[in-house]
Amino acid sequence: MVSSAQAREKYDQLVDRYEEIFFYVGDTGRRLIEFAAPPPGSRVLDVGAGRGAVTRAALALGCSVTAIDASPKMIERLVEDHPEVTGVAMDAAHLDFTAGSFDLATAGFVVQILDEPAVVLAEVHRVLAPGGTVALSLETQSVGRLGWFQELTLEFFAPATSEPVSPPPADTEASPGPMTHDRLDALLAETGFLDIERAPVEMPVPIADPPALWDWLMPRGLAEIQETLPADRRAEFRTRFLQGAQTMHDDGGITLDFAATLHRARRP
C-alpha cells in the first residue's frame, strides 16, 4: 500500500504515459460502467480518476461526473480533455462532499494501492445517496507463466539473506498483503454495503518475441530497476531475461495473462 503523497508523486510523473503503460484501464473502465449500469443523468463520483477511463464511459451514458485524484496533474489534464467534468485534486480518505451527494461512486484499479482502503470505502458510503451504487475494479495479481521472470528479478534485486523466506500466509481478514477479491468483498460488507456482486475480466496480451517482451516491460518499471545494477550485472540480467523469454516463447508463445474483477454493491 502507498500513502497519498507517494501516489501523488508517482502519478504526476506518469500523466503523459499513464494509459499507454497501463494499457488495460481504458477497456476495463468501459466494462466497469457497463457493470454499474447507471441511468442517464446519474451523479457519478469517479475516485482516482487518472486520465479518465471510467469518466469517459460515464459521460458517454449521459452521466454528470465529478472526478477526483491525488495527482493534481492528472486532474488538470482530465479537465482539459473533458471541460464538462468537475475535477478536483483530493485525498480519497477525506472526501470534501456532503452526505448523499452521488448516485454512483466508481474507483478503477484504486483500492489495491490505498494505504487505508476501509477508510476510503467508508467515505464513499457516506457520500452516496441511499440506494446508490459503488463499482470498483481490482487487478488480479498472478505470476502465471512469468514465474521465471519473478525468480530472475528476485535473484538479481532481492537483498541477500541467510534465512529462507517463508511463503506468505493464505489471505484472511487478519493477514496483511495484496488486496484480493474476497477481501474486497468482505470490506464492502463490513462498511455496510449490500447486494455485493462481482464479475471476472480477462485481458490477455500476446507478445511477438523475447525482444518485444523486453521493450514492452521497459517503460513499465524494468528500465528503472535495471539501472540500479552495475553495467556487467545489467548485461547479464538482460541476457538471462532473453533466455527465459525464449524458453517461454518456445513453450506455447509469450502471452501476458492480465485479469481483473469488477465489484458492485448497494448502499442501503
pLDDT tens for each residue of 191-219: 999 999 999 998 888 999 999 999 988 88
Predicted confidence (pLDDT) per residue in 67-94, tens digit: 999 999 999 999 999 999 999 999 999 9
Measured between alpha carbons, how far is 101 from 118 in angstroms, rounded to an integer?
20
CATH of 4-142+171-205+257-266, one of 3.70.10.10, 3.40.50.150, 3.30.70.141, 3.40.718.10: 3.40.50.150
Q: Provide the pLDDT for residue 205.
A: 85
| Domain map (residue ranges) of the chain | 4-142+171-205+257-266, 144-169+206-255
Task: List the chain residues with pLDDT less than 70.
Answer: 1-14, 17-21, 141-143, 159-177
- Residue 40 · residue 72 · CB < 8 Å: no
What's the pLDDT score for residue 26?
Answer: 85
DSSP strand pairing (254-266 vs 194-207): antiparallel
- The predicted structure's pLDDT at residue 204: 84
Q: What is the pLDDT of residue 203?
A: 81
Contacts 24+ apart (CB under 8 A), 220-224: 220/21
Q: Strand 102-108 relative to strand 43-47: parallel, antiparallel, unpaired?
A: parallel
> Residues near 192 by Cβ (< 8 Å), separated by ≥ 6?
125, 267, 268
C-alpha to C-alpha distances, 85 to 57, 79, 91, 127, 184, nearest whole angstrom = 12, 6, 18, 18, 28
38, 104 contact by CB (below 8 A): yes
Question: What pLDDT sits at residue 23?
Answer: 72
